[in-house]
């Protein structure tokens, strides 16, 4: 298909790549719809992979024998990477004691870490709050029992008179 002439040369229009099998352009450059479909497929594949990998990472909980670090900053960083929130680290009795909220299990976990090696020596569920609540309930029960005993004694005193 000739478009025009300049100094004896014939200019030709570029071939239509959408329907021509001899075109040198790749498939996505030929058809913008295919480019969009390829982008959507890539996005879908990436989101599916993300949906599978992230929960698996969360299930990889920290256990005894894992290495977290030898200082507070390293321990906090390792726990944050593992997905823990509200992290507190204290140095008591020659070991690091770290506490962190695990959003996957909805429990507060406690870790004991050797400061020299950074190894986790113990992992437990932090139940200080539950123990405090139980103690308060026990105190309330004791107060109630004492009050009932006082009432009984008063009743006995009244009956004796």
- Tell me: the pLDDT tens digits for 89-119? 999 999 999 999 988 888 898 999 999 999 9
Give yes or no for a contact between 57 and 83, defined as CB atoms under 8 angstroms apart.
yes
| Range 78-88 average pLDDT | 90
Residues 68 and 122 in one domain: yes
- The 10s digit of each residue's pLDDT in 124-142 is 887 665 545 444 545 555 4
Owning domain of residue 43: 12-60
DSSP 8-state class, residue 119: B
Residue 126 is predicted with a pLDDT of: 72
Give yes or no for a contact between 70 and 116, defined as CB atoms under 8 angstroms apart.
yes
In a domain, 92, yes or no: yes
Residues 72 and 107 in one domain: yes
Residues 104 and 71 in one domain: yes
Q: Which domain-ending residue is among 43, 60, 77?
A: 60
Q: Is the pLDDT of residue 20 over 60?
A: no
Residues 55 and 78 in one domain: no
Q: Please list the helix, strand and coil fractions of the chain in percent, rounded to the nearest 5, in that order.
A: 45, 25, 30
**Domains in the chain: how many in total?**
2
The CA distance from 112 to 64, in Å, is: 9
């Amino acid at each position: 298909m000739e478009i025009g002439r300049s100094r004896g040369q014939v200019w030709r229009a570029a071939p239509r790549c959408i329907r021509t099998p001899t075109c040198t352009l790749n498939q996505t450059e030929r058809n913008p719809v295919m480019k969009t479909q390829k982008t959507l497929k890539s996005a879908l594949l990436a989101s599916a992979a993300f949906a599978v990998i992230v929960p698996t990472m969360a299930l990889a909980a920290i256990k005894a024998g894992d290495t977290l670090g030898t200082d507070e900053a390293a321990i906090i960083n390792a726990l944050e990477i593992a997905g823990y929130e509200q992290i507190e680290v204290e140095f008591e009795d020659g070991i690091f004691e770290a506490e962190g909220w695990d959003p996957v299990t909805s429990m507060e976990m406690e870790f004991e870490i050797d400061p020299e090696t950074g190894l986790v020596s113990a992992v437990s569920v932090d139940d200080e709050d539950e123990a405090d609540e139980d103690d308060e309930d026990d105190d309330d029960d004791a107060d109630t029992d004492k009050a009932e005993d006082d009432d009984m004694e008063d009743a006995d005193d009244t009956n004796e008179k």
